[in-house]
Structure 1
Amino acid sequence: MSAAESAVIQATADVDDRADIGERSRVWHLAQVREGARIGADCNIGRGAYIGPDVVLGDNCKLQNYALVYEPARLGNGVFIGPAAVLTNDEFPRAANPDGSLKSADDWHAVGVTIEDGASIGARAVCIAPVTIGAWALVAAGAVVTKDVPAHALVVGVPARRIGWVGRVGRPLVQDGDEWVCPQSGERYRQDGETLSLIG
């Protein structure tokens, strides 16, 4: 394992020697980080979390307790994954082939979830691969995401649907004429169809 001197890895964590842990990142009790995984700097990997082979996390990510991130997921910088959230990787899951034989790695093709910078996935939400969660989007707790989520979208439910927009601080935006505004930061956004862009 390649780990910076200042990374903190608890003795009960299972971190493969071929994983790469960034500077000042923390891997807590009973977390598992598989071979080839790359975790950026200043990340926090909670108790019992799972990071699959060759998964990539950017800097400043937080995986809360028991989050499951299956390969080949790609997470940008500043991504939040809530407790017990799941990023899947199998479009057609089966344990056995039609002839009854156990499926092997050669019997299926892993597909990944992509989460762009600053996006958040709520507790016990499930993202069904292959989907992309846009930058700064917010997936509500318990939602099941089955299609791509635009940047800044607030999605809820099963299946997840957009009910609004959120700004970079995570607060729902309020419509002000032709624009959307964050009540906390004052940032203003413009909507064009299903796309929201920061003004300025």
Structure 2
Amino acid sequence: MSKFFKHSHALVESEAVGEGTRVWAFAHILPGARIGSGCNICDGVFIENDVVVGNDVTIKCGVQLWDGLRVEDGVFIGPNATFTNDSFPRSKQHAFELQQTLVKSGASIGANATILPGLTIGARAMVGAGAVVTRDVPDGAIVMGNPARVTGHVDDQESP
């Protein structure tokens, strides 16, 4: 008996899903993915094989997590946020240089933000809705716009 909740219309092929995680309708988690405990994976989320998701992560509707993505504990990923893992994608190109992206603990990614491959989103950083992140985001930075620019910093007293 599994120790996580799986909606009857979700497809969870991975056996590495942590206790207390909830996987909602039409989510698809491939066999190689590793998902921590206490996560909330909302409707229509797709998670590829070479993805690691930490504990207490929220992934809202319409998000795809592609190979090479590492998400640390306590991260929030807003609806339809987009991650990429190939900086020069071409049709029918099966061999490409997979670029690893890291989202550090406590970071928040706003709805419809786009994160280019090979970047690091710093701990507790906030990426604004619709931002296009083209470079690393420092710990605690707030970034917005296209391309995303630092517009402020998260209060150090805020809980992670």
Equivalent positions of 1:145-184 (< 5 A) are: 145-167=133-155
Unaligned runs of 5+ in 2: none
Residue type at the aligned position of 2:67: E
User: Which residue of 1 is the match for residue 41 of structure 2?
Assistant: 45
CA–CA distance in structure 2, aligned partners of residues 88 and 71 of structure 1: 9
Alpha-carbon deviations, 1:20-77, whole Å to 9, x = none?
A: 1100000000011112101100000010011111200110000000111111100000
CA–CA distance in structure 1, aligned partners of residues 15 and 117 of structure 2: 23
User: Which residue of 1 is the match for residue 117 of structure 2?
Assistant: 129
Q: Give the C-alpha shift of residue 6 in structure 1.
A: 2.7
Measured on the aligned residues, the alpha-carbon RMSD in Å equals 1.5
Residue type at the aligned position of 1:50: F
User: Which residue of 2 is the match for residue 55 of structure 1?
Assistant: 51
User: Which residue of 2 is the match for residue 192 of structure 1?
Assistant: none
SS at match of 2:143: strand
User: Which residue of 2 is the match for residue 143 of structure 1?
Assistant: 131
User: Which residue of 1 is the match for residue 11 of structure 2?
Assistant: 14
Identity of aligned residues (%): 42
User: Which residue of 2 is the match for residue 103 of structure 1?
Assistant: 93
Whether the aligned pair in 1 keeps the contact of 2:50 and 2:66 (CA below 8 Å) is: no
CA–CA distance in structure 1, aligned partners of residues 90 and 8 of structure 2: 34
CA–CA distance in structure 2, aligned partners of residues 92 and 33 of structure 1: 25
User: Which residue of 2 is the match for residue 91 of structure 1?
Assistant: 87
With the length of structure 1 as denominator, give the TM-score of the two structures: 0.76
User: Which residue of 2 is the match for residue 174 of structure 1?
Assistant: none
Alpha-carbon deviations, 1:165-186, whole Å to 9, x = none?
A: 0136xxxxxxxxxxxxx5xx5x
Q: Report which of the two structures shows the higher radius of gyration computed on alpha carbons.
A: 1
Which deviates more, 157-166 or 108-117? 108-117
Distance change (3 Å), C-alpha of 1:36 and 1:157: same
Aligned counterpart in structure 1 of residue 105 of structure 2, from 113, 117, 132: 117
User: Which residue of 2 is the match for residue 76 of structure 1?
Assistant: 72
Whether the aligned pair in 1 keeps the contact of 2:143 and 2:152 (CA below 8 Å) is: yes
CA–CA distance in structure 2, aligned partners of residues 113 and 140 of structure 1: 18
Alignment size in residue pairs: 159
Q: Give the C-alpha shift of residue 19 in structure 1.
A: 4.0
Structure 1 runs (4+) deviating above 2 angstroms are none
Whether the aligned pair in 2 keeps the contact of 1:125 and 1:142 (CA below 8 Å) is: yes
CA–CA distance in structure 2, aligned partners of residues 87 and 114 of structure 1: 11
SS at match of 1:167: coil
With the length of structure 2 as denominator, give the TM-score of the two structures: 0.94
CA–CA distance in structure 2, aligned partners of residues 115 and 83 of structure 1: 16
Whether the aligned pair in 1 keeps the contact of 2:73 and 2:106 (CA below 8 Å) is: yes
